[in-house]
Amino acid sequence: EITYGFYNFTYGVDTNKVYAIGLCRGDVNPQNCRKCLNNSRLLLTQNCPNKKEALGWIDDCMLRYSNRSIFGLMETAPGTSMWSPFKATDVDEYNKVLGKLLDDVKNEAVSGDSMKKFATANVTGPNLQEIYCLMQCTPDVSSMDCNQCLDEAIARLPTCCEDKVGARVIRASCTLRYEKYKFYEITDQPRQPPPPPPSSPSTNHTSSSSQGKTHLSRTVIIIAIPIVIAVLVLCIICTYLRLRMKKPSLTTKITSEDEDEITTVESLQLDFDTIRVATNDFNDSNKLGEGGFGAVYQAR
């Protein structure tokens, strides 16, 4: 029975014991998987007769057998490489984008479990050229071994397939492939630069914001005007008081022929002769009493 596209089997005893592994590509359905493995069995026996160990990779599956135990064992040999005859146009940018894509797909494949270690992805390269990538390890190897196998396969690319728009590296425990066209069935989410920032708000929204700002301005003005008026009034009062303090006044009681009244005059000054006449030469009959500064007289 094929479980998650992976199959292992042993047959025979002692020195005549055979170990076999069958692995289908992660996106292939069970029916096509069985068909591919059956075809691989025929191809191996025809092309590798009387061999104790053989490995065959075709598009949809891999079949391997050996006279020794190969279960859970990571091996990079035997292996081979294939590449496209066409080269990328913008080589530097293409290799930069491809390198990032290979790292991302490898990390995803390595993070798989004991059932499946498989990943695909695509990215837009230079001149809007899509790059599709697939990586897979036999699920019986550990994540660490899967990572090591794929690292070795990636390291092979500059030697075999530098600047090519398509390549495939096959190892006993893993495989990688990238092309400018889609060669697998899974629908990927394209790995592209982050989307642009959202568009500016609609006209209605902008008008609403403008109205909000207008109401706010009116509120500020309404509040600010009473404050300004109050400050101005306070300044006027302070100025008026300061001017009055600078000009001392003299309050005296003056009796006129018609009526008595209190009159305030500024800096009332009389010469000595006028005062002497008004007090009848300081006669005691005009004396009102004694004050803190001497005698107080009534002027007539």
Q: Which CATH number belongs to the domain containing residue 38 in this structure? A: 3.30.430.20
Using the predicted structure, report yes or no on whether residue 252 has a pLDDT greater than 60. no
Phi and psi at residue 168, in whole multiples of 5°?
-145, 130
In a domain, 118, yes or no: yes
Cα distance between residue 125 and residue 97, in whole Å: 6
Residues 170-196: what's their mean pLDDT? Answer: 77
Helical ranges in the chain per DSSP H: 30-47, 91-110, 143-160, 203-246, 272-278
**Domain contains 263:** yes
Q: Are residues 145 and 102 in the same domain?
A: yes
In Å, how far are 4, 212, 214, 229 from 218, measured between CA atoms?
71, 10, 6, 17
- Do the domain assignments include residue 193? no
Note whether residue 36 is domain-resident: yes
- Same domain assignment for residues 94 and 169: yes
Reply yes or no on whether the pLDDT at 147 is more than 70. Answer: yes
Return the minimum-mean-pLDDT range out of 84-88, 103-107, 186-190, 272-276: 186-190
Whether residue 20 is predicted with pLDDT greater than 50 in this model: the reply is yes
97 and 31 part of one domain: no
Whole-number pLDDT of residue 128 = 87
Residue where a domain terminates, one of 179, 205, 231: 179
Q: Is residue 226 part of a domain?
A: no
- The answer to whether position 24 is within a domain reads yes
Is 115 within the bounds of a domain? yes
Across 198-224, average pLDDT: 43
pLDDT tens by residue, 61-100? 999 999 999 999 999 988 899 999 999 989 999 999 999 9
Whether residue 33 lies inside any domain: the answer is yes
Q: How many domains, in total, are found in the chain? A: 3
Q: Are residues 57 and 98 in the same domain?
A: no
Distance (Å, whole) CA 163 – CA 96: 11
Whether 92 and 146 map to the same domain: the answer is yes
Q: What is the full DSSP assignment across 204-242? A: HHHHHHHHHHHHHHHHHHHHHHHHHHHHHHHHHHHHHHH
Which domain does 287 fall in, by range? 250-297
**Pair 123, 60 in one domain:** no
Q: Which two tokens stand for residue 271?
A: 């010469």
pLDDT at 278 over 90: no
Instruction: Label residue 260 by pLDDT band (50, 70, 90).
Output: very low
Residues 89 and 122 in one domain: yes
Within this chain, do residues 36 and 98 fall inside the same structural domain, yes or no? no
Q: What pLDDT shows up at residue 221?
A: 37
How much is the pLDDT for 194? Answer: 42
In this structure, the answer to whether residues 62 and 120 fall within a common structural domain is: no
Q: What is the pTM of this model?
A: 0.60
Could you say which of 135, 164, 179 is where a domain stops? Answer: 179
Same domain, 173 and 105: yes
CA angle 139, 143, 144 (to 5 degrees): 135
| Upper half-sphere CA count for residue 66 (Cβ side, 13 Å) | 14
For residue 216, pLDDT over 70 is answered with no
